[in-house]
Amino acid sequence: MAWKTVHLMAQKQELPTLADTCHFIKSLNKPCVAQLLAEAKGRGTVAVQPRSGVGGHDEMLELLSRIEAEANPDILTLTIDSYSRLGRFDHASRILHTNPAALNGYPLVSHGWRRGRDLNERTKQPLDIRHGSPIADHLFETAIASGITSFEGGGIAYNLPYAKKVPLEESIASWRRIDHICGELADQGIIVSREMFGTLTAVLIPPSTSLAITFLEAISAARDGVRCLLIAYPQGGNSLQDIAALRSIESLARRYLPLGPSVYPVLHQYMGPFPRDKAKASALILLGGLVAKLGGAAKVVTKTYEEALGIPTVEANVDGIRLTRCALARIFDFIELDEAAIAEEMRWIEREVVELIDPIVGVGDFHKAIVEAFKAGRLDVPFSPSIFTLGDVIPVRDPQGAIRYLSCAGLPFSETTRRRNRESLRETTAPKEKLRQIARDVHFFADQSDVYLL
């Protein structure tokens, strides 16, 4: 898809030309995310990024400025409001003009690209767009016109966990258009970082499901011209398994993206139900930082001690960044891991990923094969609201808290893989007990009196 001039639904702002946009991006006196991650990787450090988003423009600028001044994160976030995520730009605009505080994020399309540029010019660190849009063309075009060159999401992971009735064919087509524009921009010397959202529905996501979907999206993006890919993995709760999953990303990138773009592992700190107690929540954030460090993540996206209470304050956001940086400090270099156990877990995670996506990667019509795999249950997303995935896979935790498949359903796993999952799980026979176990596993940290670090 070529760059095009469009009139946005809410503000009716005509987009600038591609040449003007490229000139503005190159004129910004700040690194892009791709450059920042490359430098961090060279130093062996982990970039830190908070989540943040409010409705009003002045309020958004104040939020970004305070986080930047008080915590100095490496990357700043524009979290988009839920109406804009689903393309309801006119509705977002009405609320913006009547009660912006009622929006749960920044409606970038409604504000328009000129205000996006204002945020970009008045902050020091690069901006990243985090949202959840199955159809993201307008939002992406507005972000790029704003000079923002980091954009999260994909046609699978930003559809099935977020929407009920958006066909995969439509969301994949939207994200392919976006990735084609990324390729065009790369030819002009503008590298757009594309982060694949492995968190999915956020709780009880087996590592191989997360990585299989993110790598399918990454393969598609690379084929369409994307030069910088971030593979995001959600902290699951068992540190050994989480570290193994993060370390597996590099190995899987060598297998599926051998001559393609730069690939960086990302950890999202725990996305499930958080403890309401501040001390326990802080311990969980510290754990997330340690997992990112020990797993070799290039970036960690932070949480706050107010996660269980609602939209966090600036103070909580700053505290979460600082606490995460404590976990990343060299003082924890002394920690020794059971490397043999991590290697064994990596071997099984990578085997499961290969069994899930190898039958798709080699097919002539790659994107059609993805859609057909979800229809047939050969790919699945647990707890998804979408009618375009079966939802037959049932994950639970093993006695150590690692996430396993209680039911593999139609996933194309070998009998060896299925047996290993069966053998990892404690016996539960009664259906009611299985439901209680799943509920306990979802609330793994929220209900715990202690957080087990390693």
Dihedral over Cα of 257, 126, 235, 405: its sign: negative
Q: Which residues are catalytic?
A: 85, 152
Q: Is 14 helix (H, G, I), strand (E, B) or coil?
A: strand
- With b for 16 or more beta-carbon neighbours within 10 A and e for fewer, the 221-253 pattern comes to bbebbbbbbbbbbbbbbbbbbbbbbbbbbeebb
Determine the Cα–Cα distance for residues 108 and 54; give it in Å rounded to an integer.
10
- The pLDDT value recorded for residue 4 is 44
C-alpha dist (Å) from residue 20 to 24, 118, 306:
6, 15, 41
**120, 146 Cβ separation under 8 angstroms:** yes
Q: What is the 3-state secondary structure (H, E, C) of 386-402?
A: CCCCCCCCEEEECCCCC
- The pLDDT value recorded for residue 248 is 98
> Looking at the DSSP assignment, which residues form a beta bridge with residue 263?
229
Whose CA is closest to 341, among 392, 281, 279, 294?
294
Q: What's the burial of 416, exposed, middle or buried (CB within 10 Å: 0-12/13-18/19+)? A: exposed
Determine the Cα–Cα distance for residues 214 and 1; give it in Å rounded to an integer.
22
- With b for 16 or more beta-carbon neighbours within 10 A and e for fewer, the 162-181 pattern comes to bbeebebeebbbbbbbbbbb
Amino acid identity, position 219: I
Determine the Cα–Cα distance for residues 144 and 311; give it in Å rounded to an integer.
27
Q: For the chain, where do the domains classified as CATH 3.20.20.240 start and end? A: 18-334
> What is the number of other CB atoms lying within 10 angstroms of the CB of residue 354?
18
- The pLDDT value recorded for residue 185 is 96
- The pLDDT value recorded for residue 427 is 58
Q: What's the longest Cα–Cα distance across the chain?
A: 64
Please list the alpha-helical segments (H only) found in 329-387: 339-361, 366-376
Architecture of domain 18-334: Alpha-Beta Barrel (3.20)
Q: Render 208-264 in DSSP notation, one character per residue.
A: HHHHHHHHHHHHHHHHTT--EEEEEEE--S-HHHHHHHHHHHHHHHHHH-TTSSEEE
> Looking at the DSSP assignment, which residues form a beta bridge with residue 403?
397
Question: Which residue bears the tokens 């969301």?
Answer: 171
Determine the Cα–Cα distance for residues 77 and 151; give it in Å rounded to an integer.
10
Mean pLDDT by 10 residues, the chain (454 residues): 39 80 92 94 94 95 96 96 94 95 95 97 96 96 97 97 96 97 95 96 95 98 96 96 98 93 96 91 96 97 90 92 95 92 98 97 93 97 96 94 95 97 75 76 71 40
Q: Which two tokens stand for residue 352?
A: 């499961």
- The pLDDT value recorded for residue 12 is 54
